[in-house]
């Protein structure tokens, strides 16, 4: 991870992550969780909600770089 990415994460999240009970709450706050729309038993396409723009952008960038890194657990998935 680059120094810039670490700085953005620290600036947007702060050093105390206890306000997020788990990773799902953090992802929801960042706005990267798709919505869950259902009508008449039919699952509809969920849209991601607007969250913290800077945090969302850097998390997507980190995930993209990680997926392209060879011989790592995340790249295998």
State the total domains in the chain: 1
d(CA 35, CA 67): 24
CA atoms within 13 A on the CB side of 61: 13
Is the model's pTM score more than 0.75?
no
Q: Could you read off the pLDDT of 11-53 as tens digits, one per residue?
A: 888 888 898 899 888 888 888 877 677 777 777 666 666 777 8
Q: Which domain holds residue 29?
A: 3-76
């Amino acid at each position: 991870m680059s120094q810039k990415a670490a700085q953005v994460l620290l600036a947007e999240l702060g050093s105390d992550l206890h306000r997020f009970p788990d990773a799902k709450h953090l992802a929801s706050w960042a706005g990267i969780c798709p919505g869950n729309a259902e009508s008449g038993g039919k699952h509809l396409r969920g849209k991601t909600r607007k969250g913290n723009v800077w945090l969302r952008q850097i998390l997507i960038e980190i995930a993209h770089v990680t997926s392209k890194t060879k011989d790592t657990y995340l790249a295998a998935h």
